[in-house]
Amino acid sequence: MIVSMKKAESDFTRLFFESNGIKFSSFRNWVFYPGMLFESQKKWWNEGKQRTKPHQGVDLCFYRTEVKKVDRIKPGMFVPSLFSGYVVSVVDDYLGKSLFVFSHPDLLWAYGHLDLDVDIKEGKELKEGQILGVISQNVKNGIFPHIHISIGRVIGKATQRLDWNLINEDAIIKLVDPMPYISSEYELMSSFRAEKNKK
């Protein structure tokens, strides 16, 4: 199933592939399995067990290059900044580091599971497309290396350092589906297991 959304607002997808020496003309669309999209209730690893809270963003891991070919993001791939902005916090997550950035007057975006460059710290100004680090090398629970992206509208002010629990509070951030900001088209696969078993 192909989903079409409004025009992407960030050049993230093109910049991501070009930063990693992959011709953007060879990219067709992102590919998602159940559990990877915004507000998914289940995990896409660990046999699709229930998540502790609905997914706070999207997990980019798979993409289609040809009609019958799905490729996968590799650890160590460079990750560009989604938008210009400034870093409000950097925290550890279960695969690497997470980064929270404010852009425009009221937009928050966050990445998870990266190895960040050493100079990416709180207060750092970012330009859209600037390389922030790489996809984390850590692998746990059989989960494939991937990048998590969240986007939210800032409603209130956090009095503590932003983290994944705080951005879940409706009084501070209203999370939205990141896909319209990332790519105009993506594809939903019905079953992760079926695809894995083909290899």
Closer to Zn ion by CB, 88 or 175: give it.
175
Q: What is the total count of residues that contact Zn ion (CB under 5 A)? A: 2
Q: Is 97 in the site for Zn ion (CB under 5 A)?
A: no
Q: How far is the CB of 68 from Zn ion (least distance, A)?
A: 27
Question: Which of 31, 33, 35, 59 touches Zn ion (CB under 5 A)?
Answer: 59
The answer to the question of residue 113 lying near Zn ion (CB under 5 A) is no
What CA–CA distances, in Å, run from 91 to 1, 69, 94, 95, 123? 35, 35, 10, 11, 14
Q: Is the distance from CB of 98 to CB of 92 less than 8 angstroms?
A: yes
Q: Which stretch binds Zn ion (CB under 5 A): 119-127, 129-137, 142-150, 151-159?
A: 142-150
Tell me the closest approach of the beta carbon of residue 57 to Zn ion, in angstroms: 6
Rank residues 26 and 41 by Cβ distance to Zn ion and give the closer one: 41
- Residue 177 DSSP SS3: coil
Query: Based on CB atoms, which residue is closest to Zn ion, 39 or 124?
Result: 39
Kindly indicate which of the ranges 58-66, 93-101, 173-181, 185-193 contains the residues binding Zn ion, using the contact rule CB under 5 A. Answer: 58-66
Sole window of 7-15, 39-47, 135-143, 144-152 interacting with Zn ion (rule: CB under 5 A): 144-152
Task: State yes or no: residue 148 binds Zn ion (CB under 5 A).
Answer: yes
Reduce the secondary structure of 56-86 to three states and give it as a string.
Answer: CCEEECEEEEECCEEEECCCCCEEECCCCEE
For residue 145, the 8-state DSSP code is P
β strands within the chain, DSSP E:
2-4, 29-32, 58-60, 62-66, 69-72, 78-80, 85-92, 97-103, 107-116, 125-126, 131-135, 147-154, 173-176, 185-188
- As a whole number of angstroms, the distance between CA 111 and CA 60 comes to 11
Closer to Zn ion by Cβ: residue 17 or 38: 38
Minimum Å gap between C-beta 159 and Zn ion is 26
By CB under 5 A, name the binding residues for Zn ion. Answer: 59, 148
